Amino acid sequence: MKWMTGLLINLQFFTIVPIRLELPMGQDHLRSAVRTFPLLGLLQGVFYSFLLYAVTNWMPFSHLAAAFLLWLATIVLTGGIHLDGWMDASDAYFSYQDCEKRLEIMKDPRTGAFGVISIIVLLSSRFFFIYEAGINIHLEGYILIAALPFFGKSIMGTVLLTVQSAKNEGLGQLFQAAATVKTLWVYPLYIMTFLLFAVCLGGSFISMGIFALAAMICYLLCRRNALKWFGGITGDVLGAAVEGTECILWMTMWLLHYFVMG
């Protein structure tokens, strides 16, 4: 089935899962890969939730250790592919040059000071949110953790197909050339099914609604900033969008932990 091939392509590209198959890379298969971005995110999220639950309930580790292992898993599972985009985009943005110069900076394999500073801020913020949100975590918290990469990958696919490409090369352009905005018809179906399932499992309408709203705001910000700062998208810009979105969603979960779920 094409959707399964698309999902396997995503696992090869965006995770360290060892898919030792020579998969077809035709446009139909890449289109299926874009359609299954949210499913890839859901698989990641379920893994993160299970890992935290297992370490917290089945092992004698402290809460700090559990938070660290989950934080580490969010880095290792993706192989740092999106973090690389975050650093490159940060270097380019903080150069305060025009769009053309920023695109040149993103192509430079060297990492500048702003890229290093930005990755430290991003990862330290993520650890803080994971640690605090994981204190006395209940079922709803595990559902939100599963939702994080699900929404992150949904936004990645939506930005990919609704924002013009800044250059005619790279991973982003490869996927963009294979799909159109019509490919996104399945995303609302994924989201509605997930939200309904989440509420049936025990998530509250308020928490899930706030989370979905935060994801929508992240999409609008990613779309505006990609056009304003870089003149469109690149693979690095998409990676930065995923990392930025997930950081904001971790912050949203942290706030919900104190003001709604608490």
What pLDDT, in 10s, does the model give residues 167-195?
A: 777 667 777 887 888 889 999 999 999 99
Predicted confidence band at 248 (pLDDT cuts at 50, 70, 90)?
Answer: very high
Which own/partner contact pairs does 2-8 have at CB distance under 8 Å and 24+ positions apart? 2/28, 2/29, 2/32, 3/32, 3/35, 3/36, 5/29, 5/32, 6/30, 6/31, 6/32, 6/33, 6/34, 6/35, 6/36, 7/32, 7/33, 7/36, 7/39, 7/40
pLDDT of residue 88: 94
What pLDDT, in 10s, does the model give residues 115-147?
A: 999 999 999 999 999 999 988 898 999 999 999
Mean pLDDT of 93-111: 89
- Contact residues for 74 (Cβ-Cβ < 8 A; gap 6+): 48, 126, 246
Q: Which of 15-24, 88-97, 218-227 has the lowest mean pLDDT?
A: 15-24
With a cut of 90, say whether residue 156 has pLDDT above it.
yes
Q: What ranges do the domains of the chain cover?
A: 41-259
With a cut of 90, say whether residue 107 has pLDDT above it.
no
Integer Cα distance of 38 and 187 in angstroms: 7
